């Protein structure tokens, strides 16, 4: 009996083990369904958080459009990695058809479809697009099913084709009855002649809503259109003046090219002409003419609208085309005042990534990760020479900045040309090739010198010690002027106190 009971118990264990091995979980039966479940979980979390909580959790701000942010997450499916991004705007008019859209750069999907909230799923590859048609359809279907399960109505897009085409396919659940599909493409080269005109674009657009050519002739389609035309001036180059002068010789037999250096510059009469590098920061102008939304019912109206005069446009937006750093013939880069200003603007943008200026030169906290290793600080000898030029080689200025010779320059709220902060800014343009680390080190030493002047009751150089603070200058210049007045009052009190002590002496 003992052996019999032992045999029966072993048979029961084998049956239980066999039953456990054949257990199937039908809730997530395939990798594709697990992929849909992951997308659904992420979308539910984003829907539950809302825009305010997503901003608190560190949503990424996009510079291409004011008020547009995005959050993203990484997903894996079929041994491939994908990135799911959710774009949302903090303003209701982001991406909408208002008149201000032409004054800033929009996201490609905003420009194509006017969407404010949308999803983009793309592979994490060098191209960032899906080249396989079935794969793109499968990704789009997975996101659409996930959004339907969590009652989400965001449009979803997948980038396809060549990256230069900026092509997308998309889908949006409009409820229980309707589904909206999107398709966008861009032809960068070999554009058909017909599509170079508004009439051809109108016919192509309308054809997407008709089943056959008969529908185009029998039905009227009304299209709302906004139009922008761009006009650019030919870029000005200093070489043009040289080429014009090389056409002949002067009466004295000298080549006009030798007189090129002595020709009149465009800003000889400006206050910065004594120290600037002779380089025109403007390369031309760009004019945007904007027509408001119009209803078009036929291709003939589009042909007429294409030939309309820019004088009939409702809005004009003009902007300068600024200088770009160009390589010269020796392989280096042209360095001048305008190009250094661009570097200073880059340093300003990078400074916003750190909480304190000291972070850029601190060993423990070296500032943002995108700070280039080439951004070096000049040696202490160079810094001492610059500080000596600012603080130890000049005295207090007695000029009245409010009555300067260049009144037009006062329309910009800056520091006077010969003032302490004005000279600090000029030195910053060239100190350490105008990188943020060098400017941070320079600013710390500058503040230290100003503090020493206050503690030792020494007058601030290049600053007035009397008068009224000029509110038309920048805020730092106003503070330095106020500090200079306070130092002068402090010196007067220090001189009067010993006299008062001797008068009160009983001897």
Give 361-370 pLDDT, tens digit per residue: 876 555 555 4
Asked if residues 116 and 66 have their Cβ atoms less than 8 Å apart, the reply is no
Phi, psi of 4, rounded to the nearest 5 degrees: -65, -45
- The mean pLDDT value of the chain amounts to 75
Q: Is the pTM of this model over 0.75?
A: no
Most confident range (mean pLDDT) of 156-160, 222-226, 349-353 is 156-160
pLDDT digits (tens, 9 = 90+) for 168-212: 999 998 777 788 888 888 877 778 888 888 888 888 887 777 655
Predicted pLDDT at 295: 86
Left (φ > 0), alpha (ψ -120 to 50) or beta: where does 82 sit?
A: beta
Average pLDDT of span 346-368: 77
Sign of CA dihedral 441, 447, 452, 453: positive
Residue 243 pLDDT > 70, yes or no? Answer: no
Predicted pLDDT at 432: 81
- Residue ranges in 246-327 assigned as alpha helix (H): 299-306
Average pLDDT of span 388-405: 62
Lookup: tokens for 192: 């058909």
pLDDT digits (tens, 9 = 90+) for 128-160: 888 888 888 999 999 999 999 898 889 999 999
The pLDDT confidence band at residue 253, using thresholds 50, 70 and 90, is very low
Predicted pLDDT at 157: 94
Asked if residues 172 and 157 have their Cβ atoms less than 8 Å apart, the reply is no
How many other CB atoms are found less than 10 A from the CB of residue 236?
15
To which residue do tokens 């002779």 refer?
A: 278
- Residue 84 burial (10 A CB sphere; 0-12, 13-18, 19+): buried
Residue 188: partners with Cβ closer than 8 Å, 6 or more residues away: 164, 165
**Per-domain boundaries in the chain:** 31-190, 337-494
Count Cβ neighbours within 10 Å for each residue of 130-153 and write b for 16 or more, e otherwise: beeeebbebbbebbbbbbeebebe
Look at 112-116, 242-246, 303-307, 456-460 and tell me which has the smallest mean pLDDT: 242-246
What is the rounded distance in angstroms from the CA atom of residue 487 to the CA atom of residue 470? 17
pLDDT digits (tens, 9 = 90+) for 34-77: 899 999 999 999 999 988 888 888 888 876 656 788 999 999 88
């Amino acid at each position: 009996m003992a052996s019999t009971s032992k045999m029966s118990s072993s048979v029961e264990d084998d049956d239980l083990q066999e039953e456990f091995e054949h257990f199937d979980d039908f809730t997530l039966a395939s990798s594709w369904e697990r992929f849909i479940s992951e997308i659904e979980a992420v979308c539910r979390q984003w829907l539950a958080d809302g825009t305010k909580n997503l901003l608190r959790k560190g949503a990424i701000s996009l510079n291409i459009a004011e008020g547009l942010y995005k959050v993203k997450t990484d997903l894996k499916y079929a041994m491939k990695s994908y990135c799911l991004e959710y774009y949302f705007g903090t303003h209701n008019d982001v991406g909408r058809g208002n008149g201000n859209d032409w004054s800033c750069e929009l996201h490609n999907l905003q420009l194509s479809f006017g969407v404010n909230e949308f999803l983009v799923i793309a592979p994490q590859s060098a191209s960032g697009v899906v080249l396989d048609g079935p794969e793109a359809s499968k990704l789009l279907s997975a996101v659409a099913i996930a959004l339907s399960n969590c009652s989400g109505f965001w449009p979803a897009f997948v980038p396809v084709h060549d990256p230069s085409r900026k092509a997308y396919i998309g889908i949006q659940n409009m409820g229980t009855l309707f589904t909206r599909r999107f398709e966008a493409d861009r032809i960068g080269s070999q554009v058909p002649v017909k599509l170079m005109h508004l009439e051809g674009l109108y016919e192509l657009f309308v054809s997407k809503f008709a089943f056959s050519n008969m529908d185009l002739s029998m039905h009227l389609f009304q299209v709302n259109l906004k139009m922008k035309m761009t006009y650019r001036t030919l870029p000005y180059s200093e070489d043009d003046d040289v080429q014009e002068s090389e056409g002949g010789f002067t009466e004295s037999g000298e080549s006009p090219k030798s007189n090129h250096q002595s020709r009149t510059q465009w800003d000889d009469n400006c206050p910065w002409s004594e120290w600037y590098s002779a380089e025109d920061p403007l390369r031309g102008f760009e004019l945007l003419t904007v027509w408001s939304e119009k209803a078009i019912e036929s291709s003939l109206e589009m042909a007429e609208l294409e030939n309309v005069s820019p004088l009939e446009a409702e809005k004009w937006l003009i902007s300068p085309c600024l200088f770009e750093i160009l390589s010269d013939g020796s392989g280096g880069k042209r360095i001048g005042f305008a190009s250094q200003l661009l570097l200073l603007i880059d340093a300003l943008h990078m400074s916003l990534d750190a909480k304190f200026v000291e972070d850029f030169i601190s060993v423990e906290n070296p500032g943002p990760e995108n700070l280039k290793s080439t951004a070096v600080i000049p040696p202490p000898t160079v810094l001492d020479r610059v500080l000596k030029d600012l603080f130890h080689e000049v005295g207090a200025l007695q000029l009245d900045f409010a009555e300067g010779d260049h009144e037009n320059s006062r329309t910009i709220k800056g520091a006077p040309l010969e003032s302490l902060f004005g000279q600090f800014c000029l030195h910053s343009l060239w100190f350490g090739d105008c990188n943020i680390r060098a400017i941070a080190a320079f600013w710390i030493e500058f503040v230290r010198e100003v503090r020493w002047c206050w503690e030792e009751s020494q007058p601030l150089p290049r600053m007035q010690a009397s008068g009224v603070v000029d509110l038309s200058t920048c805020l730092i210049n106003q503070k330095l002027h106020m500090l200079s007045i306070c130092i002068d009052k402090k010196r007067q009190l220090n001189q009067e106190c010993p006299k008062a002590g001797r008068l009160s002496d009983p001897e």
